């Protein structure tokens, strides 16, 4: 078995190029392109969903577990938080309901709600389901070509660039603030069937509201820096107060951090 580990510098160059292309081809602020159905409200309220059947657990972590579920005629992902993790559920819900959070490279939010009562209560976060799962899971059992890697990198960079962008005015919505993910890793990047990257898991994200300091949430999270990279700390490892206020600097730190998920790319042969 032969393992090929791409240099951080090479991946970072690809990501920076993708972000540059995205920023120079996107429409001006007043006409930002948001991939959404006009009939769907930008900030859906908490609601009691149609009957939903949990099918199988797809992932689990310290804040809860993610189920594949059936809702009407479609599969959805249901992230279930125990009630003691209400703060994490609320933070992620707030980020998803931020104006302008509909984009082809951002996980599609459907709804959030409380299920059950008192001690057995659960907090549900329902999003679009992606059969391929996370980038981390996909790389464990698949060979990725250079063209496929570039596609993943470009779509991932577009999602990050959009998150980092502050848009003063959106048609039919309020302004979209810049958002720092702060827990960006391959497990938090989903893949569509065509390997387009979709960024999710915003439990540690922070918004940069105009004229206000970013709200403090959690401190350093569990994602490890690359072995041998010394003192590298991505934006996902920094408290909100330490994040750079300049949005162009945030783009740079995000691009470096985005190189970490792609270092898991492996090639095997027999």
Please check whether residues 230 and 116 belong to one and the same domain: no
Choosing from 128, 148, 173, the residue where a domain stops is 128
> Do 157 and 30 reside in the same domain of the chain?
yes
- Residue 62 sits in a domain whose CATH number is 3.30.200.20
Question: Which residues are annotated as catalytic?
Answer: 183
Q: How far apart are CA 78 and CA 57, in angstroms?
A: 9
Is the same domain home to 21 and 58? no
The parent domain of residue 66 ranges over 52-128
Q: How far apart are CA 101 and CA 36, in angstroms?
A: 9
Considering the domain architecture, whether residues 141 and 237 belong to the same structural domain is answered as: yes
Query: Do 123 and 248 fall within a single domain?
Result: no
Does residue 87 sit in the same domain as residue 108?
A: yes
**pLDDT per position as a tens digit, 36-73:** 333 333 334 444 557 889 999 999 877 789 999 999 88
In a domain, 181, yes or no: yes
Q: Is 230 left (phi over 0), alpha (psi -120 to 50) or beta?
A: left
At 186-225, the pLDDT tens digits run 999 999 999 999 999 998 999 988 777 665 444 444 443 3
């Amino acid at each position: 078995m032969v393992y090929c580990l791409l240099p951080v510098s090479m991946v970072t160059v690809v990501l920076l190029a993708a972000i540059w292309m995205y920023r120079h081809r996107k429409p001006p602020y007043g006409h930002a392109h948001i991939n959404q159905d006009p009939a769907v409200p930008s900030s859906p309220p908490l609601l009691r969903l149609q009957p939903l059947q949990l099918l199988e657990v797809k992932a689990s972590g310290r804040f809860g577990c993610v189920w594949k579920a059936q809702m009407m005629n479609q599969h959805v992902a249901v992230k279930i938080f125990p009630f003691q993790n209400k703060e994490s559920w609320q933070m992620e819900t707030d980020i998803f309901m931020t104006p302008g959070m509909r984009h082809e490279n951002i996980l599609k939010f459907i709804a959030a709600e409380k299920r059950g009562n008192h001690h057995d209560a659960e907090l549900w976060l329902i999003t679009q389901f992606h059969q391929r799962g996370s980038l981390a899971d996909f790389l464990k059992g698949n060979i990725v070509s250079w063209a496929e890697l570039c596609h993943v990198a470009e779509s991932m960079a577009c999602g990050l660039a959009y998150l980092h962008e502050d848009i003063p005015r959106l048609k039919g919505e309020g302004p979209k603030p810049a958002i720092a993910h702060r827990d960006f890793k391959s497990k938090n990047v989903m893949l569509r069937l065509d390997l387009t990257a979709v960024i999710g898991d915003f439990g540690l994200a922070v918004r940069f509201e105009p004229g206000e300091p970013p709200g403090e949430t959690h401190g350093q999270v569990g994602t490890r820096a690359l072995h041998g990279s010394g003192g590298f700390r991505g934006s996902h490892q920094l408290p909100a107060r330490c994040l750079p206020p300049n949005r162009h600097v945030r783009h740079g730190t995000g691009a470096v951090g985005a190189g970490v998920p792609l270092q898991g790319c492996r090639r095997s042969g027999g």
